Amino acid sequence: MSANELWGGRFAKGPAEIMERINASIDFDRRLYRQDITGSMAHSSMLMDQGIISREDGEKIQEGLQTILREIEAGNFKTDPALEDIHMHVEARLRELIGDPAGRLHTGRSRNDQVATDMRLWVRDTMDHLDGELKALQEALLGQADAEADTVMPGFTHLQAAQPVTFGHHMLAYLEMFSRDRARLKDARARLNECPLGSAALAGTSFPIDREMTAKELGFDRPTANSLDGVSDRDFALEFLSVASICSMHLSRLAEEIVIWSSAQFRFVECSDSFSTGSSIMPQKKNPDAAELIRGKAGRSAGAFTCLLMMMKGLPMTYGKDMQEDKEPVFDAADNLQLCLAAMSGMISDISVNRVVMKNASGAGFTTATDLADWLVRRLDMPFRNAHHVTGSLVKLAETKDCGLEDLTLADMQTVESSITDEVFEVLGVDNSVASRVSYGGTAPSNVRAQVASWKQRLAGE
C-alpha cells in the first residue's frame, strides 16, 4: 500500500522521489512503535465501548495490533520510506493482516492527535527511566560521601584555593544538584500527563468518543481541554529538553572536576581503568575520556533544546509538518543523557581518592585565613573588617617567610597584632577548620555524616 492510498483520493499521482525523502520520518520515529500501538489499542477499545465500531471489528484490530507488536519486537517488521512514518506503517500492516476492518481504526482521530499522544507517552516513559538513572547516580555519590566524610580537600573559588572542605561534602553538593534535576523531571511529567487523543486534526470530532476513557487507559490524568492546543503543544518536549540541558550541565561540571582532579598537577583522584583510555604515542598517559565525553555531550542537549525552541517559535496554530522535527532532538538528547548518567555513575563508584595528596593541598594558599579572621572576631572582639585587615597582613608576612600561617610563631603574629595569643593555633589546622564549620549545610564531617544518613533514608523510601 502506498502513502497515496492512505491519504485517499485527493492526489492523482505520487510524490516526487525527493519529496518522499524529505517527508519520511520512519528512520527515526520507528522507536515510537510501542507507544503508537498502545495508543491505538486504547482508541480501538474506546470505539468498541462507544458502539462506534463493532466489537467484531474491534477485536480483529486488537489482535492485529498485537501481532504487529510481536513482529516489530522480533525484528521481522519491514519498513518502506514511501509510507512516511511509524503510524502509516502500522496501519498499512494492519490492513494486510485483517483487511477492511483496519480502516475503522482511524475513526475519530487524526495523525495529528495520534503523534502528539505517542510523543507524550514516549517522553513520559523516558522521564521515568531517567529518574531511575539519576537515582543510581545519587546513590553512587552518596557512597563516596559516606566513605569520605572526613577526607579534607581544598575548596575553590575562581579555581584558587579558598577554604578547606571535605570530599564527602563536595559529593553531597552534586547529589543536591541531581536532586533538583529529579524534581524538575517530576514537575514536567505532571504537566505532560494530559492526553491529546480525541482532539483529532484540530477541531475535535463529531463521533461520540469518550476521551476520559482513553486518557485513563493510557495512564494520563485527564484529556487535554482544548483540541487546538492538544495537537499543537510541544511544551512537554521543550520542558524535557530544558531539564535534560540543565542535568547535562551538572554532569559537565562534575566531569570537568574529575578531569582536573585526575591530572598529574592535582592527583586528587584516579579514574578506574574501566573509564579511562591511553594514548597512541605516549605510553604513560591515562586519560579520563569518559569524563571528557560527558563534558562534550552536554552541548548536544543544549543544542537540542535550542533547535526545538526555534522550530516552534514561528508556528501558528495548529499543526505544521515542521513539527516532525521535534523527534530527532528529543531522541538524541534522551539517548545521550541516559548514556552520560550511566557512565558518570560508573566513574563515581569506581573512582579512587588520594586522601594524602588532598589533605596536603588543602592547606596551600592560606586556606585557613578565614578561620584566623573569625578567631580574631570571636576571641578579641575585633570588628570583622579590622580582623580581615590583620589577617591579610599576617598572610603577607607568611608569604615573605615562605611558610604557612600555622608555621608563623606567636612572636611573628604579635608583630602584627599584639593581643593574639597561642590559642590561635587551635584554628589554623585544616582538620580544625573543617570541624568548626558546623552551621547547617556546612562542611563539618559531623554535618556530612548527618546528611548522608538523611539521604540514605530518603532514597530508600523512593
Return the pLDDT at 282: 64
Return the pLDDT at 43: 98
Give the whole-angstrom CA distance, residue 225 versus residue 215. 12
Return the pLDDT at 285: 60
Look up residue 411 and give its three cell numbers.
612572636
Under 8 Å between Cβ of 429 and 375 = no
Out of 54, 263, 274, 279, pick the active-site residue.
279
Instruction: Give pTM, 2 decimals.
Output: 0.90
My answer on whether omega of the bond before 318 falls inside 30° of 0, hence cis, is yes
Could you report the per-residue pLDDT of 254-297, keeping only the tens digit for each?
Answer: 999 999 999 999 999 999 888 877 666 665 667 889 999 999 99
Length of the chain as a residue count: 462
Which of 124-138, 296-310, 338-352, 370-384 is predicted with the least confidence, judged by mean pLDDT?
370-384
Return the pLDDT at 82: 84
Q: Which of 248, 242, 228 is nearest to 307 (CA)?
A: 242
Give the whole-angstrom CA distance, residue 245 versus residue 231. 25
Q: Is the pLDDT of residue 455 over 70?
A: yes
Mean pLDDT of the chain: 93
Q: Is the pLDDT of residue 18 over 90?
A: no
Which of 87-91, 226-230, 298-302, 370-374 is predicted with the least confidence, judged by mean pLDDT?
370-374
Tell me if residue 279 is catalytic: yes
Under 8 Å between Cβ of 333 and 309 = no
What percent of the chain stands above pLDDT 70? 95
Q: Considering Cα of 272, then 275, then 276, then 280, what sign does the dihedral take?
A: positive
CA distances from residue 68 to 89, 118, 304 in whole angstroms, order as listed: 10, 16, 31
Helix (H) / strand (E) element for 116: namely helix 111-147
Q: Is the pLDDT of residue 70 over 90?
A: yes
pLDDT tier at 24, thresholds 50, 70, 90: confident
Give the whole-angstrom CA distance, residue 462 versus residue 458. 7
3-state class (DSSP) for residue 65? helix
Under 8 Å between Cβ of 445 and 439 = no
Other CB atoms within a 10 A radius of the CB of residue 220 amount to 23
Give the whole-angstrom CA distance, residue 142 versus residue 168. 8
Q: Which of 328, 307, 171, 193 is nearest to 245 (CA)?
A: 307
Q: For 128-145, what is the mean pLDDT?
A: 98
Give the whole-angstrom CA distance, residue 120 versus residue 191. 11
Other CB atoms within a 10 A radius of the CB of residue 122 amount to 22
Out of 158, 206, 280, 439, pick the active-site residue.
158
Return the pLDDT at 15: 66
Q: Which of 231, 41, 37, 7 is nearest to 122 (CA)?
A: 37
DSSP state of 380: H
Q: For 71-86, what is the mean pLDDT?
A: 92
DSSP code per residue over 127-196 = HHHHHHHHHHHHHHHHHHHHHTTT-EEEEEETTEEEEEEEHHHHHHHHHHHHHHHHHHHHHHHHHH-EE-
Q: What does DSSP say about strands 194-195 and 222-223: parallel, antiparallel, or unpaired? A: parallel
- Alpha carbon 191 to its chain's center: 17
The C-alpha angle 416, 417, 423, rounded to 5 degrees, equals 120
Q: Is the pLDDT of residue 172 over 80?
A: yes
Could you report the per-residue pLDDT of 48-67, keeping only the tens digit for each?
Answer: 999 999 999 999 999 999 99
Q: For 172-199, what is the mean pLDDT?
A: 98
Return the pLDDT at 188: 98
The C-alpha angle 236, 240, 243, rounded to 5 degrees, equals 140
Under 8 Å between Cβ of 344 and 259 = no
pLDDT tier at 245, thresholds 50, 70, 90: very high
Look up residue 24 and give its three cell numbers.
519520511
DSSP code per residue over 78-100 = ---GGG-SHHHHHHHHHHHHH-G
Tell me if residue 199 is catalytic: no
Q: Is the pLDDT of residue 10 over 70?
A: no
Under 8 Å between Cβ of 91 and 5 = no
Q: Which residue has the higher pLDDT, 405 or 169?
A: 169
Return the pLDDT at 28: 87
DSSP code per residue over 258-289 = HHHHTSTTT-SEE--GGG-B--SS-TT--B-H
51: CB partners within 8 A, 6+ apart:
none
